[in-house]
Amino acid sequence: MAAHHHEHGHDPSVAHHFESAEQQRQSTKLGMWVFLATEILFFGGLFVAYTVYRVNHPEVFVFGAYFLDTALGALNTVVLIFSSFTIAWAVRAAQLGQLRLLRWLIIATMACAFVFMGVKYVEYSAKWKHGLLWAGSYNPHLEHGDEPAAGHGEAEAPSSTTGAPEAGAPADPDRSTIAPAAEGPHGLAAPAVAADPHAMPVEPANARVFFSIYFMMTGLHGIHVLAGIAAMLWLLRCLGRGDFDGGRFTKVDMVALYWHVVDIIWIYLFLLLYLID
């Protein structure tokens, strides 16, 4: 810090190892893009798990998606897209030095983030109520009397089948307990529910896998939304102490880039989890 005193005319907002404010801005931005690339790879592991399970066991995903509310998912998509718009507008406001507008746009984006988390809360509590949870916590107890006919997972094999191999025979631990539809119990072809296309599909073995993947993916995304709220609170603090005076907008720009990635990931999560027919 003391070095600043020796350089007359040195911009205090530019760190010493940078030639100019522009070079500093470009370096910050490159660092942010590298971080965002690691974020994509962070979620990437979960997308790999999703793809491998869905390709090999599509019936598990058809069953699981039945319990997700497409309307709430679509509402959250609209809310996030709108918040992406407000934070993109906030960058413009910061660039043009419109600080009052900037404050309102940051607050609007935060409000959208809270609405998103509120809708998520409604969705999560419905899953919680029905025991549609991850892995070992999966213990469905559904209302309306339309319990899945195939029992609650691998332990209870369907009893209605004749001649077909048992879906849940735990004889060989290395063997998948999920029978493909072609040779599985007749329940998978669902003759009983064929009359009503909106009836709940019969529960396949290992339906819990869907809910494990659902909670991991939306949970990690939700944590990112919370981090986004924290980042925007930080922006408001920076705004209050005058960091954005004189058209300095890098911090707003970086938080906006992060927020857009949260939006992009949700665009895919909505499609891949909610819109399975």
Q: Which of 118, 129, 176, 242 binds other proteins (CB under 8 A)?
A: 176
Is the dihedral angle over the CA atoms 80, 85, 88, 94 positive or is it negative? negative
Among 15, 81, 99, 199, binds other proteins (CB under 8 A): 81
Q: Is 48 exposed, middle or buried (0-12, 13-18, 19+ CB in 10 A)?
A: exposed
CA–CA dist 49, 46 (Å, integer):
5
Q: Decide: is 52 part of the binding site for other proteins (CB under 8 A).
A: yes
| Contact status, residue 151 vs residue 121, Cβ threshold 8 Å | no
Rounded to whole angstroms, the Cα distance separating 105 from 83 reads: 9
Nearest to 110 by CA among 17, 242, 266, 235: 235
| Phi–psi pair at 133, nearest 5 degrees | -120, -175
Residue in 11, 18, 21, 149 binding other proteins, rule: CB under 8 A: 21
Query: Measured from the CB atom, is 157 or 179 closer to other proteins?
Result: 179
Assess 174 for contact with other proteins (CB under 8 A).
Answer: yes
Q: Provide the minimum distance between the beta carbon of 134 and other proteins in the complex, in angstroms, as a whole number.
A: 21
Stretch that binds other proteins, among 2-10, 32-40, 142-150, 228-236 (CB under 8 A): 32-40
Helix (H, G, I), strand (E, B) or coil at 72: helix
Residues 6+ apart with CB under 8 A from 118: none
- Report if residue 38 touches other proteins, rule: CB under 8 A: yes
- Return the number of the residue (140 or 228) whose C-beta is nearest other proteins: 228
Q: Cβ of 250: how many Cβ atoms within 10 Å?
A: 19
Question: Which region among 69-77, 141-149, 211-219, 226-234 touches other proteins (by CB under 8 A)?
Answer: 69-77
CA distances from 75 to 35, 71, 139 (A): 28, 6, 28
Decide whether 104 or 147 has the Cβ nearer to other proteins: 104
99 forms part of the interface with other proteins (CB under 8 A): no
**Interface with other proteins (CB under 8 A):** 21-22, 26, 29-30, 33-34, 36-38, 40-41, 44-45, 47-48, 51-52, 55-56, 70, 74, 77-78, 81-82, 84-85, 88-89, 91-92, 95-96, 165, 174-176, 178-183, 247, 249, 253, 256-257, 260, 263-264, 267-268, 270-271, 275, 277
